[in-house]
Amino acid sequence: MLPPEDTFRILIATDNHLGYLEKDPIRGKDSFTAFEEILKLARREQVDFILLGGDLFHENKPSRKTLYQTMALLREYCMGDKPCKMEYLSDQSVNFPDRFATVNYQDPNYNVSIPVFSIHGNHDDPSGDGNLAALDLLSVSGLVNYFGRAKEVDEITISPILLRKGNSRLALYGLGNIRDERLHRTFIQKKVKILRPRKSSDVWFNLMVLHQNRIAHGATNYIPESFLDEFLDLVLWGHEHECLIDPVMNQQQQFYITQPGSSVATSLCEGESQLKHIAILNICNNEFEMEKYPLRSVRPFIIEDVVLSEVDGLRPTDSKGVIKHLNEKITDLIGQAKESWEQRMAETGEAIDENTEFPKPLIRLRVEYSGGFNSFNPQRFGQQFVEQVANPKDIIHFYRRRSYTDNKKIAKITPEQLAGIIPERLDHFKVEDLIEEFLNAQKLDVLPETELIDAVRIFVEKDDRDAIKEFVSGSLDKTRGYLHNEATSIDDSELKREAAKEKKQRLERYLQTHSNRDAVIIDHKPSKERSEATSDQQSSSEEELSAPTKIRKTTATKRGGKKAATTSRAAAPARKPRATRGRAKIVPSESEISEDDLLVEATPMETDEIEDVAPKSSTQRNKPRAAPTLSRGTRQSKLNFLSSQNDHNAGEEDTFASFTSAAGTGRRNLRRNRG
């Protein structure tokens, strides 16, 4: 058993999608019910903090009702007098670069018992006026610690949150969602840097959370596991909804990956039908254990396939027989859902009596009707199950297998025609690609193309009806104001030159303030020249692209079970935290922080500290801003960060030094024993 005074207890979950189908009379509360169960478990098990892997909200602009319910739950379960026994060692102004720049459990204006740390996902990412996310509202209200937001997508630097509990030290890395193609290219270009503590870097447990495609849907729209640095111990992978929470080791990089999956089903697919879990991660020094907990409140979900041509006794002309067979099949699936729900309740010790209501299950029957069979209206068919299932409108999904004759016809189609009808190509074709292609053919005089593309994307993907209107009216107002102040003539050519100048300045400002977006810079070169440049860039990327890593599955660690993974390194010297008065929150005193932990001016790194690291031109890095002084009279401790580059200029000062993370980079000569 791990010593509790040295053990971090972290509840991990991801993809809660609060507000999903909030107007549905049956499923509208599902996301909040599951989230409340997660918070109840966190309070019952007395965890140190909750770590969320993105997509806390389903909508980019959650409704007022959704925000109210979310804030009410966080206030009810995460506020209180329970002391937070963690010491915060890193620079808070770097980890939380917002107006207040402080972790909520050290804010004297709040009484936080269970801190919540979260990155953003692709559903609740920053956008719109001010480039704010819904998590910014929770952060400024002191309910959530929002971190992992990249300042620039072309030059990403990930600075860890450094925590200490007893003898255990935790480095928490986070990277909010960035468009997969863009992030993939940034990794390929070796422009993703991860900072590490300069002193005693091997005593830290390195935990990273990200929200990206893990499964390859194309050449570049996913992030291979091999892109992540090998010094990591555990990676919490968000975005993928299938529950694969048991830690799996990546044999190439030698770190573990856990994929908790979503807490609510947002699509009727095979991955969502798996039993959903969350976990409590126990970290002591360089060891970790994982306790799995099934979510009891999740609505039962059964999915099955049926091929009508393979059913004995069914004829294509017997439509009544087909309907009767499907009716019996769905009735049987409802029975299976009830049995699985009762079994789940029994395993968790929940009593079931005559007053216990069985939740309406999600049922999906995929019907393959090739071979002369005809489909029918699935919504009309589902009306007979309105009182039995939660999704009567889409209970049946018809699909047809492509026949050999169809394949022969397609073989006669030209490659150009084929490229336009392949479903996979259509699925991955984005609206911004259409707008970019249109704008490449003609230049706009006033409206910045990059902002226009982003406005159209927000209009389509985020369902923001005012995005285009606000962009056009705002652009015209800014241009009029600029011309009124700067133009010295009313000549048309002079006005066009001034408008182009103002447009260029706006583009530069927009790229700086919206660096987390995948902004597109329009190239107005001739089409032939542009296509040649694009071809060269694609061939270069393909040469550098590495194959996905094969991994093996480890033994699952269930509640009270064996350790999922163990790593051994020298333990840090014992430092017993002390409680302050009032809320009994733990803050470090000056005597408890060693000289190695204090932030001092970094001297140029010696060339023999680290070997085999990809060289890179040195850059001057400013020192982090000082964290705000706490009212308790304590001093915020800061840590020196280890440099992983060996080409610093003489006399260069750097508080943080980075390890370049990309496929094909050199590896350190100091490897840890991972057991």
Active site residues: 123
Question: Could you give the CA distance from residue 350 to residue 365 in angstroms, rounded to a whole number?
Answer: 30
What CA–CA distance (Å, rounded) separates 113 from 127?
A: 31
| C-beta separation of 585 from 84 below 8 A | yes
User: Rounded CA gap, 344 and 489, in Å?
Assistant: 77
Q: Which of 630, 586, 636 is nearest to 112 (CA)?
A: 586
Find, among 544, 565, 542, 548, the residue nearest to 225 by Cα. Answer: 548
Q: Which residues contact 407 (CB under 8 A, 6 or more apart)?
A: none
Given a contact cutoff of 8 angstroms between Cβ atoms, the answer to whether 366 and 243 are in contact is no
Helix (H) or strand (E) holding 594, with range, is none
Q: What is the DSSP letter of 171?
A: E
Q: Token match 């959650």: residue?
A: 62
The Cα 577–Cα 585 span in angstroms is 10
What's the CA gap between 92 and 566, in Å, rounded? 30
Cα(416)–Cα(419) distance, integer angstroms: 5
Where is 208: in which H helix or E strand?
Answer: strand 204-211
Alpha helices (runs of H) in 390-466, residue ranges in sequence order: 404-411, 415-419, 423-427, 431-441, 449-461
DSSP 38-96: HHHHHHHTT-SEEEE-S-SBSSSS--HHHHHHHHHHHHHHHBSS-----EE-S-HHHHS
Q: What angle do CA 57, 162, 148 make, to 5 degrees?
A: 30
The answer to whether the beta carbons of residues 464 and 128 sit under 8 Å apart is yes
Rounded distance, CA 445 to CA 448, Å?
8
Q: Where are the beta strands (DSSP E) in 86-203?
A: 87-88, 116-118, 145-146, 156-158, 161-165, 168-175, 192-197
Contact 645, 119 (CB under 8 A): no
CB atoms within 10 A of CB 165: 22
What does the alpha-carbon distance between residue 499 and residue 445 come to, in Å, rounded to a whole number?
Answer: 7
Residue 353: phi, psi to the nearest 5?
-130, -170
CA distance 290 to 278: 10
Expressed in percent and rounded to 5, the helix, strand and coil fractions of the chain are 30, 15, 50
Helix or strand or coil: residue 35?
Answer: helix
Contacts of 111 (CB under 8 A, 6+ apart): 79, 80, 81, 583
